Amino acid sequence: AETAQLKDGWSAEMFLPWSMMSMPDATNYTRTMGIALQRAVAHKNQTWGIPVLPRTTGLFMSRLHKLVFTDVNPKQQITFYPFISTSFDGVKHEATAKAGFDIFWRPTTNFQITSSINPDFGNVESDDIVVNLTSYETFYPEKRPFFLEGQEIFITSTRASTRHGSSHRTPVTLLNTRRIGSPARTPDDEGLVLTRLERNQPSELLGAVKITGQSGALRYGLLSAFENETDFNGVIDEQSINIRQTGRDFSAAR
């Protein structure tokens, strides 16, 4: 991307490759794209847009301005990302090494397979600290790139139902991916004493695979993830014990 400040305004230029977009099949490689532009004017408390898209109606995609492009035929692509990482736990005084890889394969313009073996999310931003004094679970947004890509397939709310006037409503989702890799269920053995560190340790993912695609007007997605076993080191009757819990398996399809 590149920006510039001009005498009568500013300009922004971005390069978005066709290969990053999911598109239906086309026999003559002619594509029709809908486009809309919006600008929030803070000092007037207004939002300007072309075309006009009321937030209280479900009509959205059909009102976009149409642009026609020719000779657009993204080629088949496959991307392989291996990694090696090391970490040190300052509380347990343990050092660990980890290796894995991610694979992205798009055989056609409307079908993609993404898989991750022994994924590492060490570069993901930490969650904000939330003080929750209610009986309801705190919902944290997903920040891991693997689960973010294609997540809109599992959102069922229409545009009109997630917005009402200037207030925003949380969309209804079929899948809360933050539960994947979350702390395992705490063992309920009578007399078991566990530290907070043991109770809140995240589950380690062995692997995950995601399939997304489109056939005509139908979009579909499949997600599966598998967790490793979790070890709890606790104390019962002043004796140290180790409890191993079987990892969970997750699957979702739409």
pLDDT in tens, 25-78: 777 888 888 999 888 999 999 989 998 887 777 667 788 999 998 888 777 788
SS3 content of the chain, % helix, strand, coil (to 5): 10, 45, 45
Q: Using CA atoms, how far apart are residues 112 and 110, in angstroms rounded to an integer? A: 7
Query: 48 and 41 in contact (C-beta within 8 Å)?
Result: yes
- Give 3's pLDDT tier (boundaries 50, 70, 90): very high
More confident residue, 121 or 192: 192
Q: Using CA atoms, how far apart are residues 159 and 150, in angstroms rounded to an integer? A: 17
Is the alpha carbon torsion for 249, 121, 105, 214 positive or negative? positive
pLDDT in tens, 174-193: 788 888 888 888 887 777 88
Neighbours of 109 (CB within 10 A): 23
Query: 83 and 99 in contact (C-beta within 8 Å)?
Result: yes
Q: Using CA atoms, how far apart are residues 239 and 166, in angstroms rounded to an integer? A: 58
User: If you search the block for the tokens 């209804």, which residue do you land on?
Assistant: 172
**CA-based nearest residue to 220, from 60, 74, 22, 73:** 22
Burial class (CB in 10 A: 0-12, 13-18, 19+), 24: middle
User: pTM to 2 decimals?
Assistant: 0.69
